[in-house]
Structure 1
Amino acid sequence: MTEAAKAVLASLERDQRARAGWAWSDAESQTERRRWFYTPTDHGGLTVNAMTPGQYQRTMVLVATGLSEAGYVTVATIMGLENALDRTEGFASTFARDRGRDPGMYYLRIFGTPGEAVWGWRFGGHHVSLNNLVVDGALVSSTPCFLGADPATAPLLGATSLRPLGAVEDLGRSLVRSLDDAQRSLAVLTPRAPVDVVGANRSRISSGDRVVPLGDLFRGRFADPGLAHAMDAAHEANESYYGITPADHDAVELTAAPRGVPASSLGAEQRELLLAVLNCYTGRVPEELIAREAARYAGPLLDEVHFAWAGGLAPGDACYYRLQGPRLLVEYDNTQRMANHAHSVWRDPEGDFGTDVLAAHHTAHHA
């Protein structure tokens, strides 16, 4: 990862490097490092469409070092889906730029100097947000990690479909359908799914967090009042279509004590299903780190993880689920575009962006 980051920076011209490489120590950089998005907005950094083909390839080498093979293929597929989404929307010019759905609008920013004791990097664009921190030569944090897909299901030749996050949804649905009545009464929070992941793109998760309106998920409000109104109207239309009520928002808001059914109340096969769901998130990291991430929830540690669901149970129904436990918040949502627009995110509420590791590193080396 260090060598890949060095290779990217070494290939850049001065003006490119000013956009891609930021110092570590100043307050502005640290505030920016904790700012993240999953909408088609300015994620901050150097876009891949402002790179030469060689620079773009070096950037993807860096991206690949932070992901498993399955994670990397999923990210590459999501980026390519911008072309399919562009066709769905009639190749319209949106978001106050010539091409609204643009597979070149993915941004790289490196914080600090690769190879020093502490540095990090971020890669993101529409439906991708990767945030990585390296301390003393080890990748210590990979959250928040967001992957989405629009369309969530698209036709392929041979009467089959492309579903980049299909198994992520199907495993969750299999788990909720496996529950008996008593388990399901705990797990199902409301029959209507929220129209987005509840934690949104907040830098820090807090009790009481609720769904953020679409227009507030971009970097700043739109200068064009018409565009700002369109974003607000889209959010309101989604909630109206599904009949979302204040009680539904109450039911799915984030709480310090996890809602849902605890893994301690699940049978052996159900626990295996829960682990399979969880592995769709912890399995995004490089292969050599997957076992480390999975060990956080092995054996009795799994008992404290809660599974919650909102929405319909049948395939194709709008749905939402989350896993919540110590150092864990996973959310999946597929409601927008008539349940053909999926969002998934993996977070560590106590250690996103490596804040806990950085605090310990500072105490050990700078106290």
Structure 2
Amino acid sequence: MAKAAETFLASLDPAGRAAATGRLGGDYREWTYLPGPRPGLCLAEMTADERAAALVLLDTGCSAGGATTARAVVGLDMIRRQLGADPDPEDDRYWVRVLGDPTGPDPWAWRVNGHHLAVHLVVADGSIAVTPSFYGAEPATVPTGPHRGLRTFPEEEELARLLLRDLEGALRAEAITSDQAPSDILTRFDPVADPTVIDRGLAHGDMTPDQQDALQRLVRHYLGRAVEPAAERAWSEMVEAGLDEIRFGWAGSDVRGEGHYYSVLGPTLLIEYDNTQDDANHIHTVWRDLLHDWGDDLLAGHYADGHSG
């Protein structure tokens, strides 16, 4: 990962390097998934070689599947603009930024941010943090044109629906927290995710074995966007904290094409999915690690060991 960051920075001219770099601190917890400019160097302003190096860096922070999905989000935003929602269909409106020195001993970070994509990595003393992790899709299903029918997040929806369909009676009633879905994920782009805004839903410990397996598959899918060490650490910490404490909540309609939302909440993580906007054809998903968001614990440990800031 450090090598990919070095290669990316070495590919830039002085102006590009100045735009693409910054200090780890200050505003590094500020983020959004809405359209608009970000700090960093925009893909649209890069040469082909620079862009290729930036995407290699993106790949190093994701699993193979996560990298494919991240690139698909970038591609889908271009499809959205080509469908007429935006007058500049050729611009890749995603910004890359490296914070700190990837060649040195101190913590450093990098991010790729833009409309519907927020990949954040913090590296300290051989460990990494990979959240907040946001992926979105507009349109969720491409309605027309040469890409008609394309779905960027089929498994995120289908795995949750599989679980919901298997719930009956009192279990289903406990899982469905509201007949109205919220208009967006509840934690939005808050620097610190507040788990108390999430309705509790149905506990893993109250589910049947098949339902528990379905919930675990759903969680694994989200964690599986990240590089394997981070994904496995998140899974192990969730298990250690108690799988039975994980809760699944659904809000809104269970009819396809109508607005719906779900959450997965446990002592160590928070996952949200919302598909309500644009006639329920616009998905927002987020994974927040309640132990390691922004690498705060890694940074605290590094400096507690006597390293200078």
Q: One-letter code of the match for 1:284?
A: R
With over 3 angstroms needed to count, the CA separation of the structure-2 counterparts of 1:167 and 1:207, relative to structure 1, is: closer
- SS of 2:131's partner is coil
Aligned to 2:276: 335
What are the residue-to-residue correspondences of 1:53-202 with 2, within 5 Å?
Answer: 53-88=48-83, 90=84, 92-93=86-87, 99=88, 103-116=91-104, 117-139=106-128, 141-154=129-142, 161-202=149-190
- SS of 2:290's partner is coil
Distance 1:159 1:356 in 2: 43
Aligned to 1:34: 29
Distance 2:68 2:204 in 1: 30
Q: One-letter code of the match for 2:23?
A: A
Q: Cα offset for 1:102?
A: 5.7
Distance 1:160 1:14 in 2: 42
Q: One-letter code of the match for 1:114?
A: P
With over 3 angstroms needed to count, the CA separation of the structure-2 counterparts of 1:298 and 1:143, relative to structure 1, is: same
Among candidates 236, 251, 258, match of residue 317 of structure 1: 258
CA RMSD between the two structures: 2.1
Distance 2:298 2:79 in 1: 40
Q: Cα offset for 1:290?
A: 3.4
Q: Cα offset for 1:317?
A: 2.3
With over 3 angstroms needed to count, the CA separation of the structure-2 counterparts of 1:66 and 1:92, relative to structure 1, is: closer
Q: Cα offset for 1:160?
A: 7.4
What are the residue-to-residue correspondences of 1:245-264 with 2, within 5 Å?
Answer: 254=197, 259-264=200-205
Q: One-letter code of the match for 1:40?
A: P
Q: Cα offset for 1:103?
A: 4.6
Q: Cα offset for 1:350?
A: 4.0
Q: What's the CA shift string for 1:140-198, capped at 9, x where partnerless?
A: x1000000111101258999721111110111121122112111221111111111101
Gaps of 5+ in 2: none
Q: Cα offset for 1:349?
A: 3.0
Q: One-letter code of the match for 1:18?
A: A
With over 3 angstroms needed to count, the CA separation of the structure-2 counterparts of 1:207 and 1:299, relative to structure 1, is: closer
With over 3 angstroms needed to count, the CA separation of the structure-2 counterparts of 1:202 and 1:165, relative to structure 1, is: same
Q: One-letter code of the match for 1:35?
A: E
Q: What's the CA shift string for 1:286-331, capped at 9, x where partnerless?
A: 2454333322233872111111110111222211000111121100
Distance 1:102 1:274 in 2: 39
Task: Identify which range, 8-17 or 122-131, moves more after superposition.
Answer: 8-17
Distance 2:131 2:231 in 1: 14
**Contact kept in structure 1, 2:265 and 2:271, CA below 8 Å:** yes
- SS of 2:155's partner is helix
Distance 1:133 1:76 in 2: 20
Q: One-letter code of the match for 2:125?
A: D
Aligned to 2:231: 290
**Contact kept in structure 2, 1:262 and 1:304, CA below 8 Å:** yes
Q: TM-score, normalised by structure 2?
A: 0.93
Distance 1:148 1:321 in 2: 15
Q: TM-score, normalised by structure 1?
A: 0.79
